[in-house]
């Protein structure tokens, strides 16, 4: 054999064969979209369809590209083919048809497709958009549209109310309403999807994943559910599950702006910034949602993470111009300047507010702003509830105290649920009990301390304190630390209740608490007396390192405000009478 031919043959054995399949052509199509080469993208999508002719997603992607290119008739041919041959249950295709017909000014055909969509789609993903299109058709046809029913509007009023509760950050109320809706209509997938979100916002991860799984079992291609699940997996670091799910999401090219926004945001949150950049740029290029400062923020974050710093700056400047309160945009512009200088990594915060730790630093300077922010911003509220469940110890301590400034039913329920979670630290639960008492919760509290369920009775009624001061907390922590192991849970709870009672009675004339150890010792002194335990000032001096004069003086002040000595006399007298 010729040596030259042997060398060539040897080279051939090292050639890696190119795998031409639907995934290969899909990826080429996406790359072409990234470069705005629609003709090439269309060609590659056609090849993907050739390799997977029974996959409706490939067909819908191709229809979506044709629609964006203004080739509405070809788009309609594909959508009709999906409905007739591949998946008659894809009712959203009727909505896409209606949009295409409206763009072609074939208003009668648009009306027919829209009516079919409304009368057959159970989930109502495009109900708001369908209402707008219906108004246009009524105007163009100069007559009302006849609708026998709107399938998705069964239970829709309650569902709309639940969505409003979610947007307002009233998650537990939304959960109750959504659960009631699903008892009546278990196949209402949009309600089940929102229930999964509500669980997630409350930090109930396992329930949220289970609920979203139920949606996907009924409809494997539900984009909202897939995106929600991807974010859930990201938060708990389930990398293999996330990777598998992302493989599917990367193949999805949504048609409707709401879906583009949802998918783009999801891709950004899970760290797929280049994918997110493509989706956000697509929205801005078409003018969709371009007046929303949050969209420019999302585009800026994606741009910064793929090295397009000039674009990131332009987007944050636009967000600043559009937002009446430019603090968020200013923060990220400052962050970008540090990124350019190599002093910081690009921000990955796709929610349009400052990072959690940064907000706390700001609130420490201006504590009066916490309550207003928590009441007005559901995203911040959800981040607090999530941190209460999944943050580190320091963050949980901050969150518990901050939630006390809001003191609505949502907060009270969250703190009560925290008390019975066997996985949470007992010290944090004691602070939660204190906060609940300080905001006026007077009923018995169920709590799990040291793995044992207990009921803590409200022994005293306390006036509500407006803001919990760090000096008050310092006294409480010293007393809790010294009493731990020597007093049981109920006795420690009574100490906390006594401290809140004293502060409530003397507020706003609370004395300066320079000697925290002395005040803590005074609290232990009266707690021991209330439980008929022998205690001396000398013992307290050894435990707390405070002088006898200080302990005696502070014990006197507490007694003067709360009348403990007189109450103990009455209790002893009643005890003697019973004997």
DSSP for 379-429 reads HHHHHHHHHHHHS-HHHHHHHHHHHTTT--HHHHHHHHHHHT-TTS-HHHH
Domains 22-145 and 156-339 share a fold: yes
- Paired strand residues for 449: 452
Collapsed DSSP state (helix, strand, coil) of residue 454: strand
Residue 114 CB burial class (10 angstroms; 0-12, 13-18, ≥19): buried
| pTM of this structure | 0.51
- Record the tokens describing residue 252, joined without a space: 């999805």
- Beta strand residue intervals within 260-406, DSSP E: none
Q: Which fold has domain 156-339?
A: 1.25.40
Q: Does 408 sit behind a cis peptide bond, omega within 30 degrees of 0 on the bond before it?
A: no
Domain chopping of the chain, boundaries: 22-145, 156-339, 353-458, 475-579
Residue 353 makes CB contacts below 8 A (sequence gap 6+) with: 328, 359, 377, 379, 380
Identify the CATH assignment for 475-579 out of 3.40.50.2020, 1.25.40.10, 3.40.50.300, 1.10.472.10.
1.10.472.10
Could you give the residue ranges of the DSSP H alpha helices within 124-170? 127-141, 156-167
CA distance 519 to 561: 14
Angle, vertex CA 527, rays to CA 525 and CA 528, nearest 5: 65
Residue among 499, 494, 470 at smallest CA distance from 557: 499
How far apart are the C-alpha atoms of 133 and 115, rounded to whole Å? 11
Give the number of other CB atoms < 10 A from CB of residue 174. 26
Residue 363, C-beta contacts closer than 8 angstroms, at least 6 positions apart: 369, 370, 373, 402
pLDDT along the chain (579 residues), means of 10: 35 47 77 79 83 81 85 91 87 90 92 87 79 88 77 70 77 87 86 89 83 90 89 83 89 84 90 92 80 89 94 93 84 90 86 70 63 66 74 77 75 84 80 76 78 67 57 85 78 81 83 91 92 90 92 92 82 50
Please choose, from the candidates 307, 330, 264, 257, the residue with its C-alpha nearest in 3D space to the C-alpha of residue 68: 257
- Superfamily of domain 22-145, CATH level 4: Tetratricopeptide repeat domain (1.25.40.10)
Beta bridge partners of 487: 484
Using CA atoms, how far apart are residues 279 and 484, in angstroms rounded to an integer? 55
Shortest CA distance to 284 belongs to which of 271, 272, 297? 297
Phi, psi for residue 448 in degrees, rounded to 5:
-110, 110
∠ at Cα 202 (198, 206), nearest 5°? Answer: 85
């Amino acid at each position: 054999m010729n040596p030259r031919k042997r060398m060539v043959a040897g080279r051939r054995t090292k050639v890696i064969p190119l795998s031409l399949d639907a995934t290969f052509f899909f990826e080429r199509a996406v790359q072409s979209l990234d470069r705005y080469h629609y003709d090439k993208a269309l060609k590659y999508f056609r090849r993907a369809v050739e390799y997977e002719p029974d996959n409706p997603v490939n067909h819908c992607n191709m229809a979506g590209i044709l629609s964006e290119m203004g080739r509405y008739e070809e788009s309609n041919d594909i959508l009709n083919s999906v409905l007739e041959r591949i998946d008659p249950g894809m009712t959203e295709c009727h909505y896409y048809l209606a949009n295409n017909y409206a763009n072609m000014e074939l208003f009668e055909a648009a009306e027919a497709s829209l009516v079919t969509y409304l009368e057959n789609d159970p989930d109502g993903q495009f109900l708001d958009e369908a209402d707008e299109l219906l108004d246009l058709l009524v105007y163009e046809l100069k007559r009302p549209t006849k609708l026998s029913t709107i399938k998705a509007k069964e239970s829709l009023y309650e569902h709309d109310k639940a969505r409003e509760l979610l947007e307002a950050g009233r998650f537990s109320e939304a959960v109750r309403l959504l659960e009631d809706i699903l008892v009546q209509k278990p196949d209402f997938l949009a309600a089940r999807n929102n229930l999964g979100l509500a669980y997630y916002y409350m930090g109930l991860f396992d329930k949220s994943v289970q609920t979203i799984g139920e949606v996907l079992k009924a409809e494997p291609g539900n984009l909202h559910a897939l995106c929600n699940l991807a974010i859930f997996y990201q938060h708990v670091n389930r990398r293999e599950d996330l990777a598998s799910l992302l493989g599917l999401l990367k193949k999805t090219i949504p048609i409707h702006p709401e879906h583009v926004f949802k998918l783009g945001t999801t891709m950004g949150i899970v760290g797929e910034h280049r994918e997110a950049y493509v989706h956000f740029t697509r929205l801005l290029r078409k003018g969709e949602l371009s007046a929303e400062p949050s969209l420019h923020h999302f585009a800026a974050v994606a741009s910064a993470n793929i090295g397009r710093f000039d674009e990131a700056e332009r987007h944050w400047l636009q967000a600043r111009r559009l937002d009446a309160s430019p603090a968020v945009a200013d923060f990220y512009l400052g962050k970008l300047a540090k990124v350019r200088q190599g002093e910081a990594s690009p921000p990955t915060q796709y929610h349009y507010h400052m990072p959690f730790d940064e907000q706390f630093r700001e609130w420490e300077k201006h504590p009066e702003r916490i309550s207003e922010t928590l009441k007005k911003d559901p995203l911040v509220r959800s981040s607090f509830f999530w941190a209460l469940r999944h943050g580190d110890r320091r963050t949980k301590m901050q969150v518990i105290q901050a939630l006390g400034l809001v003191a609505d039913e949502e907060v009270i329920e969250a703190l009560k649920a925290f008390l019975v979670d066997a996985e949470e630290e007992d010290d944090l639960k004691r602070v939660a009990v204190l906060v609940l008492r300080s905001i006026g919760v007077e009923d018995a509290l169920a709590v799990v301390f040291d793995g044992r369920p207990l009921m803590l009775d409200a022994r005293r009624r306390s006036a509500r304190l407006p803001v919990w001061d760090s000096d008050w907390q310092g006294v409480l922590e010293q007393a809790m630390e010294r009493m731990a192991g020597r007093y049981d849970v109920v006795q420690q709870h009574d100490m906390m209740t006594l401290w809140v009672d004293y502060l409530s009675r003397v507020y706003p004339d609370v004395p300066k608490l320079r000697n925290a150890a002395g005040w803590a010792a005074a609290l232990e002194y009266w707690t021991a007396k209330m439980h008929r335990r022998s205690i001396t000032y000398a013992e307290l001096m050894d435990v707390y390192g405070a002088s006898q004069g200080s302990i005696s003086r502070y014990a006197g002040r507490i007694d003067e405000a709360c009348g403990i000595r007189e109450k103990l006399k009455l209790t002893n007298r009643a005890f003697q009478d019973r004997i």
